[in-house]
Amino acid sequence: MMRTRIAFALVCGVVLLVIGLAVRFAGVGTEGGRQPSDPPTTAGTDTLPRIDGARERGQAIFEAQGCASCHSIGAIGNPRYPLDRVGAKRDDISIREWILAEGTARDSLSSTVRRSKTGYREMSPSDLGILVQYLTTLRTIRIR
């Protein structure tokens, strides 16, 4: 019947409109012209030094803690806050403070971000140490 045809056309229109706006936003907001056809990077594993397996553990902890929902390494993860050169900019003490939202880092973070970091305080000291050590090794940009 006519009403269902119009309704189905509207459904298709709504979905296509959303996809169109999403593509438009993605195109406008894209940084550096990377397109979805570009192959995903592999976190620059070739350029990372091997430190007695700590890198792999560090990567595993980075993934398990969901750090990639806010940060990226090697273009994997949230690209708004890349950590590719964090090891060149901060020492291990500073990185630990930023992870835990403590010390001088605390004042630089919004209350929302501070709350989101409370989970890191429940990490075991060894995992936290490995994560910090891993981040200190990130000294080069690894986007291919």
Question: Applying CB under 8 A, which residues contact other proteins?
Answer: 1-8, 10-12, 14-15, 17-19, 21-23, 25-32, 34-36, 38, 40, 43, 62-66, 68-70, 72-73, 75-80, 112-113, 116, 119
3-class DSSP state for residue 99?
Answer: helix
Residue 15 CB, nearest approach to other proteins (Å): 4
Q: How many residues does the chain have?
A: 144
> What is the torsion angle, in degrees rounded to the nearest 10, for the CA atoms of residue 87, residue 93, residue 94 and residue 97?
130
Residue 33 CB, nearest approach to other proteins (Å): 8
- Comparison of 23 and 88: residue with beta carbon closer to other proteins: 23
Q: Which residues of 31-41 are buried (b: 16+ CB within 10 A; e: fewer)?
A: eeeeeeeeeeb
- Comparison of 91 and 119: residue with beta carbon closer to other proteins: 119
Residue 124 CB, nearest approach to other proteins (Å): 12
- Comparison of 31 and 52: residue with beta carbon closer to other proteins: 31
Contact between residue 140 and residue 47 where contact means Cβ atoms under 8 Å apart: yes
Residue 67 CB, nearest approach to other proteins (Å): 8
Could you tell me the two tokens for 99? 């992870």
Query: Which has the closest alpha carbon to 113: 105, 125, 104, 123?
Result: 105
- Comparison of 75 and 86: residue with beta carbon closer to other proteins: 75
